[in-house]
Amino acid sequence: MSLPLIDLSAGTRALHAAAIDHALRGPGFFAVRGHGVDAGARDAVFNAAHRFFALPDDTKARWHVDLHPTGLKRGFDPIGWQALDVGQPHDLKESYYIGVEAIGPNQWPDEALVPGFCVACHGYMHAMESVARRLMGLFELALGLRAGHFDGFMRHPTCTTRLLHYPPQPADAAPGQIGCGAHTDWGALTLLAQDEAGGLQVQTADGWIDVPPDPEVLIVNAGDMMPRWTNDRWRSTPHRVINRHGGRDRWSIAYFFDLDAEASIEPLPVCVSATNPPRYPPITAGQHLVEMYLRTTVTRVS
């Protein structure tokens, strides 16, 4: 089984919307090409990630997420900081969180240490937001909603970009310890760019399937907000990363499109009927994200 592939540069919006509906009713994942993201913007942010994660651990720790002056979870989180599969050993990855500056300041590495890091990340985030908003418009069409229905939920979305580095899987890893434990994403949708190393797996009814790496496509999946919104019409599917291919490092960039913090999410009227009543109570997007972050965080620095 392979993920559905949608070429946004070919065909009609109606065909794209129908393909998205089919994918999110099924595997909960699909891939897109023809998304319009400039390869130079992608290459620049991957290069910035390589240079940052090559710094010594004590240098990277200067921008630890728990050292943010306002408490925002922005900055570096080291290996051992998170266990996305709650109850399993910590994930074998390190990452760097970057958010929307209008909502709160990011922590940026010193320009002298990682030249161009901030500029590269801003360029990439801008490109990803354009793709995400385009997809949200197709989601409206797929659900039979009027154009612009979701606009009021994404006036100032709390989008997060996460630069991810997975070192080679060590031979002495604890049982069940992998690059990224099985989990679902938390927001509306995720856009994932990955290098050629592979390792991403998606859970299906027939078991875990490998997602072949292709730098030219973006992997898209629905987060946990979508089942709440669509009353389980669309799936938020478990996935994981096992970095065991060739003993090499794996690099990826996840862009989480997570809606306005104060947006109240509850089943859409078009997804509710007398025989399919609402399955979820209302919750704000911000409250949901905070609860999920705290659930998966392993340790903190004082």
Q: Kindly report the number of other CB atoms within 10 A of residue 54's CB atom.
A: 11
> Which residue from 220, 221, 233, 215 is spatially nearest to 271, judged by alpha carbons?
233
pLDDT digits (tens, 9 = 90+) for 254-274: 999 989 999 999 999 999 999
Residue 16 CA: distances (Å) to CA of 19, 136, 138, 221: 5, 12, 7, 15
pLDDT digits (tens, 9 = 90+) for 66-99: 999 998 889 999 998 888 888 889 999 999 999 9
Task: Give the span between the Cα atoms of 178 and 170, in whole angstroms.
Answer: 9
DSSP structure string for 45-96 = HHHHHHHHHTS-HHHHGGGBGGG-TT----EEE-TTSB-SSTTSPPPS-EEE
H or E element in which residue 15 lies: helix 13-25
Global pTM reads 0.94
pLDDT band at 302 (very low <50, low <70, confident <90, very high): very low
> Which residue from 197, 179, 46, 52 is spatially nearest to 115, judged by alpha carbons?
52
DSSP structure string for 115-154 = TTHHHHHHHHHHHHHHHHHHHHHHHHHHHTPPTTGGGGG-
CA 66, 189, 102, 60 torsion-angle sign: positive
